[in-house]
């Protein structure tokens, strides 16, 4: 029997004149009755004409072709594509939270303020820091908040001459961008051969102009900065502040407190570590914590508990305000639920499982796809290949071939210091069986590279859209049909 294929057409291509899915009552007035002539369309826009059934089938089919965490394993670093309990979503949109008016008096939102206050207290407990603000709406927004808080601190301590921020090459790419946006000169330093901060390079860069040193811990090659206490002492010796990018905190939660490292300011990602989905870019929340000497300069207001009720307290030394009202409340509620669900022991197990899963993948793939830094990693392992010894196959080819095996691709070509990088972050929520299936797919791809590399170079073979000309797509994008 001949196979009948349904084309993957755009909705406008499926359109048929006169076909419709909804009928509107005839308008009593025409647009020209109440709009000036200059605001009227000269001609009707060309829109798809489809029945309701056609429309439902079209979008359902598109949704089934998407990769999503509910259907596939995402070995995707940078956004921690882990399972997050659906119950948190339900709780975060309960009517008293979701429908509270932004200008409601404090007396009418005591429940919401209580949750925010308790979340601040929990974040203080797991980090050891003295205070937290929940205003920042994302990790990068948290970075900017932290650096502006540092600027306010230095301004209050006659630090106007401190114009530089030191950023290692193993930091998240947003770190130097954030420092630049805050008006600082960025000083980049190279990492040591072991993938951590080169202390000699840091020592040479530290001067009385240094305002902040920004470290990503664990860093972007998935390694813990083993000398972080010594680094903190070096930073503090010149009067600077140590900022920690805590986006990868799922590898440390329950195991270590940044305050014990000597960290002065840090941000956390509730949408990565603390149970809020973040696929597709949002929504997010990037709380910022500070040590006691820096805490007065955090954004205002902070939620406080005074005289038996919760209030938004103003702070005279604050650097100002970073967001309207008090951050992304729904994401904060998810983070609160996450921390209330687990105790100190289970939080520790979360970090241990994240570390175990990443090292399991690293060890199993050794000899075929080797880690760039051949040592124990934290939450993610960064693999690399040499195209010259892989029959001309590149990292992008491997990523596309993984789609044929039912796996979404890892982050590739990042971090920049690793050639042909393949960043695998399995997260703490994936089972051994799923990791074994992913490893098996990678091993099969390696065999294909050795025996029939062209199959890999031409991948994907099973997707609705085959390989495109990526250079032309980037330089000459077709933004409209």
How do the domains of the chain map onto residue ranges? 11-65, 87-341, 351-475
In sequence order, the β-bridge partners of residue 267 are 245, 288
In angstroms, what CA-CA distances link 314 with 131, 299, 303, 311, 317? 14, 9, 9, 9, 9
**pLDDT score of 314 more than 60:** yes
pLDDT tens-digit map of 92-103: 999 999 899 989
pLDDT in tens, 445-461: 999 999 999 999 999 99
Residue 1: pLDDT band with limits 50, 70, 90? very low
Q: Cα(139)–Cα(284) distance, rounded to whole angstroms?
A: 7
Is there a contact between 448 and 393 (Cβ–Cβ < 8 Å)?
no
Higher model confidence: residue 72 or residue 292?
292
Who wins on pLDDT, 110 or 467?
110
DSSP letter at 88 equals H
Topology of domain 87-341, per CATH? 3.40.640
Q: What is the mean pLDDT of residues 154-160?
A: 94
Report percent pLDDT > 90 for the chain: 74
| Residue of 314, 332, 237, 196 lying closest to 276 (CA atoms) | 332
Per-residue b or e along 79-103, where b marks 16 or more CB atoms closer than 10 Å to that residue's CB: bbbbebeeebbebbeeeebeeeeee
pLDDT recorded at residue 281: 61
Q: What is the rounded distance in angstroms from the CA atom of residue 155 to the CA atom of residue 322?
A: 18
Unique residue bearing structure tokens 């937290």? 132
Q: Can you tell me the mean pLDDT for 199-212?
A: 98
Q: Say if residues 333 and 97 touch (Cβ distance below 8 Å).
A: yes
Q: What is the mean pLDDT of the chain?
A: 92
Give the CA-trace dihedral at 450, 451, 457, 462, to 10 degrees: -120
The CATH number of domain 351-475, selected from 3.40.50.1980, 3.40.190.10, 3.90.1150.10, 3.40.50.300: 3.90.1150.10
pTM over cut 0.85: yes
More confident residue, 284 or 228: 228
Angle (CA) 50 56 57, round 5°: 95
Phi, psi of 71 (to 5 degrees): -120, -30
């Amino acid at each position: 029997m001949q196979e009948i294929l349904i084309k993957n057409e755009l909705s406008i291509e499926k359109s048929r004149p006169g076909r419709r899915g909804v009928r509107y009552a005839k308008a009593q007035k025409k647009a020209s009755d109440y709009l000036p002539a200059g605001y009227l369309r000269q001609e009707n826009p060309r829109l798809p004409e489809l029945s309701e059934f056609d429309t439902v089938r079209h979008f359902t089919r598109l949704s089934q072709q998407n990769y999503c965490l509910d259907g596939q394993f995402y070995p995707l670093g940078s956004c921690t594509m882990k399972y997050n309990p659906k119950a948190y979503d339900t709780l975060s949109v309960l009517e008293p939270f979701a429908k509270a008016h932004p200008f409601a008096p404090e007396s009418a939102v005591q429940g919401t303020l209580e949750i925010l206050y308790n979340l601040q207290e929990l974040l203080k407990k797991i980090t050891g820091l003295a205070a937290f603000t929940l205003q920042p709406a994302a990790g990068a927004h948290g970075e900017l908040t932290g650096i502006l808080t540092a600027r306010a601190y230095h301004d209050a301590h006659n630090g106007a001459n401190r114009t530089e921020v030191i950023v290692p090459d193993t930091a998240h790419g947003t770190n130097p961008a954030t420092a630049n946006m805050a008006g600082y000169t960025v000083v980049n330093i190279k990492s040591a051969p072991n993938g951590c901060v080169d202390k000699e390079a840091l020592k040479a860069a530290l001067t009385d102009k240094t305002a902040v040193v920004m470290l990503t811990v664990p860093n972007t090659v998935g390694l813990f900065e083993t000398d972080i206490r010594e680094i903190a002492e070096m930073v503090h010796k010149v009067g600077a502040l140590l900022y920690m990018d805590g986006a990868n905190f799922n590898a440390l939660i329950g195991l270590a407190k940044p305050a014990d490292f000597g960290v002065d300011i840090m941000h956390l990602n509730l949408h990565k570590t603390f149970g809020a989905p973040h696929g597709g870019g949002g929504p997010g929340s990037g709380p910022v914590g500070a040590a006691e000497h820096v805490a007065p300069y955090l954004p205002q207001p902070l939620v406080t508990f005074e005289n038996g009720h919760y209030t938004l307290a103003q702070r005279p030394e604050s650097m100002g305000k970073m967001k309207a009202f008090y951050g992304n409340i729904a994401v904060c509620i998810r983070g609160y639920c996450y921390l209330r669900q687990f105790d100190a022991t289970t939080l520790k197990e979360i970090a241990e499982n994240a570390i175990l899963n990443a090292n399991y993948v690293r060890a199993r793939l050794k000899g075929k796809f080797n880690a760039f830094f051949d040592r124990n990693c934290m939450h993610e392992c960064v693999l690399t290949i040499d195209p010259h010894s892989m029959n001309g196959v590149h990292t992008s080819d491997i990523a596309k071939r993984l789609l044929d095996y039912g796996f979404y691709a890892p982050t590739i070509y990042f971090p920049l210091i690793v050639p042909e990088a393949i960043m695998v972050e399995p997260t703490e929520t994936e089972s051994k069986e799923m990791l074994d299936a992913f490893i098996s797919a990678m091993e099969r791809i390696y065999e294909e590279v050795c025996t029939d590399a062209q199959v890999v170079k031409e991948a994907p073979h099973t997707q609705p859209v085959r390989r495109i000309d990526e250079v032309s797509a980037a330089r000459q994008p077709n933004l409209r049909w």
